[in-house]
Amino acid sequence: MNRVICACGKKNKDKLLLLSQCCGRYLDHFDTIPAPDAESLMRSRYSAFVLGRGDYLKKTWSETTCPSDLSFEPEVKWLGLEVRTHRLTGPANAEVEFVALSRLKGQPTRLHELSRFVKDTGRWFYVDGILRTPERPRNA
């Protein structure tokens, strides 16, 4: 169980990190180990989607934009994450652009989003995301 590879796909010297070395730290120790930057938070939120950890998604969502009803699409199978860019846009603001691949009822789906994050009392929170060019699977 402890040898599970982290779903976010983060590597250290070409080796995929284990969940326990990567997002699992933030998912399981939310109160004591905050994600150190917006990219780590974004990765851990992706892992939370994969693992169905709605509790973590809520805790890391800005109060201003967090939906009151957070539901998962149980049939989505997450296939991978690629973080394109991560940059600070202010002393307490950051943006992360990523592509997340998934499959819903056999249909490949590509989510390309620019997410915005804000830092508040030492923690990063997800604010919202802007979808980049809607990308449809080829031949669909």
Residues that bind Zn ion (CB under 5 A): 6, 8, 10, 22-23, 43
**Shortest gap between Cβ of 90 and Zn ion (angstroms)?**
25
For residues 8 and 94, which CB has a smaller minimum distance to Zn ion in the complex? 8
For residues 6 and 94, which CB has a smaller minimum distance to Zn ion in the complex? 6
Angstrom CA distances, 106 to 71, 79, 122, 128, stand at 20, 12, 41, 28
Cβ proximity of 117 and 123 under 8 Å: no
- Any idea what DSSP says for residue 20? G
Q: What is the DSSP track for 70-122?
A: ----TTEEEEEEEEEEEEEEETTEEEEEEEEEEEETTEEEEEEEEEEEEEETT
For residues 15 and 91, which CB has a smaller minimum distance to Zn ion in the complex? 15
**Shortest gap between Cβ of 91 and Zn ion (angstroms)?**
26
For residues 15 and 105, which CB has a smaller minimum distance to Zn ion in the complex? 15
